[in-house]
Structure 1
Amino acid sequence: MLMSSSLKKGNVELRHQKLNQEQHRENIVMAILLHEYPFQFVEHEGTRNMISYLNPDVKHVTRNTIKADVLKFYRREKKKLLDILQLVPGRISLTSDLWASITTDGYISLTAHFVDKDWMLQKRILNFHYMPTPHTGFAISEMISSLLNEWNLEKKLFSITLDNASSNDSFVDFVKSQLCIRNGLLLNGEFFHVRCCAHILNLIVQDGLKEIDSGIYKIRESVKFMKGSQSRKKKFHDCAQQMGINCKKGLRQDVSTRWNSTYLMLESALHYRDAFIHLSLSDSNYLHCPTLEEWNQIENMVKFLKVFYDVTNIFSGTLYPTSNLFFLGMWRIQCILQEEAKNPILFRSSSLSKMQSKFDKYWGAFSAILAIAVILDPRYKMDIVEFAFMKLYGDDEGNSKVNNIREKLQKLFGEYCNIDLQNQGSSYTIQTTQDQVIEGDPNDPLMVSTYES
């Protein structure tokens, strides 16, 4: 029996607390979920002895019972999330991705992003679901459609962000057509498909890194060699100290599929360049030291890729909105590519054309909603879009692109006006031309302020 004691005037007063068996099982469920314990955890002898010592009245449960409790907890939390999603005042955006496990089983994730009634940015993982092969666009669309129906989101969606796998294009077409039939998307899904900005940058940078493949391979092998044993680490540390290098900066090892980790590996290796060169002269077992030319190439590439790395970090933020940061980030990348093309370094000239070609491919297909997002940012508004397009394309082509964005913004605004006023029994008609024909209440302050600006 659970007991607590307190000392009052030299006497020990015992207070008995009645055991709540349901609360005890709930605590076990939370421990299993938080720490990823196996269900069999509740049957371990040590666990039961510890619990019985704290309170002999506890009724021990089996793994099957606790599994049922976990599923009950899941259904309860799912119902809460369903209610939250239905009360979201605006639209909900989704992100989705596919993974393969070590055993090659496929899994698909679906995450909801929304602003709640208190104007707080929220993110909720809706599903992490087994995805059988084949992973075709039609199969993915069937799975996503069933998940959307399960969460009752068919008429609350704004967009879905995906990577650039070819199957995703056909998947989006299938899902968009189904949602449009039910009148579930704004402007027939014109802004529905958003390409993952970080994935686009990854594809662009990978073309640049191919130019220094041999140098990257040598750096990767050098880091592996140095981290291979304590004696090697000590010897490398001694070399760094002899060369007057500050050893507080860590030496990183990369994950080859993540270019930003490769960038950090190269940056940290450059800090210890003299130590690696010294080690190659003093240790005959060290065979992968880059040549002086390769070191120079790596240094130039790291300087060039710094802006890509910074923009990737900005896009990868989780505690703040990122849609309004896309346009400025990608414009910054475009400016760097154009500047480098004027005075390219010899070893990088071939990669620049490939990077520019891939950038143009995705920049030309980017969703206009990302330009609209920066317009809605009160720090920038329409001025930043006009400035960026004029700088990149000149007056004629720049004006054409600005007018295209302005027209889409007006159409989106008109759609929201119609939705709002249809709920009140009336509607606006907005003609998105230079004449700007607007039907509705001319004294509406929202309309007046928009067109005056």
Structure 2
Amino acid sequence: MSENAVDSTIITETRSTRTKFRALLCYVNADIDTWLPDTHQTVKKWIMRQYEDQKEKVKQRIQSAKLRIHISCDLWTSPNSLAILGVVAHYVTEDGKLEHRTLALKDIDGEHDGSHLAAAIMEVVEDWGFASKLALLRQFDIQYDSKSHRLRCQGHVINLAAKSFLFVTDNEKLEHEDSGLHNVTLKQIEAWRRKGPRGKLHNFAVYIQRSVQRSQKFMAISHNRRLARDNDTRWNSWYTMLRAALNLREAIDGYFNKWVEADCAGDRLSAEDWTILEKIESFLEKLKLTTKALESSFATLDHVLLAMDFVLAQFEAGKEAYTDDPIMAPMYNSGWAKLDKYYRLTDESPAYVAAIVLHPSHKWH
């Protein structure tokens, strides 16, 4: 009980060893001295002992799983700039219950290439003792028997298709040409402007946010509503920016009408530009809803091909509808090509078809 109390409160490891604090506790309960930690290391030992005890119980439960054990993982940067690899096990217990357990949050040093991450994951698997029962690995960029045992993160696949749609490119490591709000060069501004309406909107958002004074002027005519801006890694930041901009269209047009400034005059959005932005936002909303449908523990593998079929159909409809559109046609073609590439790669793993065939509501239909 005392271990749980220390673990779940803000009591530090050293406070319980301080003379005055111990005297206060003894005043409340004369017998408590027997249970107080002797040194600042004692609390840590208690917590680690509890952790090892609980880990052993979970390990036995995982090792006794009825079927093979699947794992999923993801790598992200923590707020304190650590590269953290999360590893989660998915398995069916002896009594037939589906369980999900977080096995590790590993701090990854060095390169984040597939072989390095795969080695880190296998260390976790071996530590938990189920290497012989390992089944499928769900990750995006780890080289792990990718022909049959690799299940790609569908959110990331949609992310790649969305970026190809937005920027008409096959570059899967695409990032914005400018990394921040400051020191944006004229060359970068012109490059974005050539991208059409979406580039103009990007330039205007950067222009406003680079200056406190300009931000204040914009807030004054937008009724204190801020203009969102795209970021370097997430395509849905474009959806957020477009949605906000469409809601702030009157304020954006009003800014150009009230303050004619040479630096952003070339980024003024015409009525035709706004129409294109509406089309892009409408399509990105479909990608967002599809991504959400494939998230959380309720999204099962049998949904993947159905979701990809839906998105491909949206791309194909766009290709047909905007065949002669000089802006939209290349965007739809680029996005379709990227998603079609990954749709074909699902043929390499039997898991996708098996998930549909084994689902009671689908089977071979």
For Structure 1 versus Structure 2, the TM-score category normalised by the shorter chain is 0.7 to 0.9
Structure 1 residue corresponding to 2:199, chosen from 199, 207, 214: 214
2:235 is aligned, of 237, 259, 262, to 259
Query: Alpha-carbon deviation of 1:297?
Result: 2.5
Aligned pair in 2 of structure 1 residues 74, 237: CA closer, same or farther (>3 Å)?
same
Distance 1:136 1:206 in 2: 22
What secondary structure sits across from 1:155 in the alignment?
A: helix
CA–CA distance in structure 2, aligned partners of residues 282 and 29 of structure 1:
59
What code does the residue aligned with 2:59 have? Answer: L
State the match for 2:149 in structure 1: 192
CA root-mean-square deviation: 3.7
- Return the alpha-carbon distance in structure 1 between the equivalents of residues 133 and 115 of structure 2: 22
Structure 2 residue aligned with 1:4: none
Output the CA distance in 1 between the equivalents of 2:208 and 2:334.
29
Unpaired segments of 5 or more residues in structure 1?
1-22, 177-189, 240-246, 384-453
For 2:249, the equivalent position in structure 1 comes to 273
Return the structure number with greater helix share.
1
Q: Which one of 38, 56, 78 corresponds to residue 79 of structure 1?
A: 56
Residues in 2 aligned to 1:223 and 1:55: alpha-carbon distance in whole angstroms:
63
Local SS of the residue matching 1:377: coil
Q: CA deviation at 1:38?
A: 6.3
Map of 2:336 onto structure 1: 356
SS in 2 for 1:90: coil
Aligned residues of 2:208 and 2:218 also touching (Cα < 8 A): no
* Structure 1: distance between partners of 2:359 and 2:249: 43
Q: Which residue of 1 aligns with 2:160?
A: 203
Tell me, what secondary structure is at the counterpart of 2:131? coil
Q: What letter corresponds to residue 311 of structure 1 in structure 2?
A: T
Structure 2 stretches of 5 or more lacking a match?
168-194
Alignment partners' CA distance in 1, 2:12 and 2:328: 52
Report the TM-score, using the length of structure 1 for normalisation: 0.62
- Which residue matches 1:129? 106
Q: Distance in 2 between matches of 1:286 and 1:49?
A: 72
User: Contact 2:218/2:251 (CA < 8 Å) preserved in 1?
Assistant: no
| Paired position in structure 2 for 1:143 | 120
SS of residue paired to 1:357? helix
Does the 8 Å CA contact 1:29/1:69 hold for their aligned counterparts?
no
CA deviation profile, 1:84-119 (whole Å, cap 9, x unmatched): 212322222111233456786544321112344565
Q: Which of 198, 215, 238 is equivalent to 2:223?
A: 238
* Bigger Cα Rg: 1
Where do 1:29-48 residues align within 5 Å? 29-31=7-9, 39=13
Distance apart, 1:83 and its partner CA: 1.8
Call closer, same or farther: CA 1:284–1:290 in 2, change over 3 Å: closer
**8 Å Cα contact 1:263/1:302 also seen in 2:** yes
Decide whether aligned partners of structure 1 residues 340 and 49 sit closer, same or farther in structure 2, where only a CA change above 3 A counts.
farther
Give the secondary structure class of the aligned counterpart of 1:84: helix
Distance 1:142 1:201 in 2: 27
Structure 1: how far apart are the matches of 2:18 and 2:230? 39
Higher relative contact order (CA closer than 8 Å, sequence separation 6+): 2
Cα distance, 1:219–1:54 mapped onto 2, change above 3 Å: farther
- Counterpart of 2:120, as a letter, is M
Number of residue pairs matched by the alignment:
327
State the distance in 2 between where 1:307 and 1:266 align. 14
**Aligned residue number for residue 405 of structure 1:** none
Q: Does 1:373 align with 2:355?
A: yes
1:298 to 264, 277, 284: 277
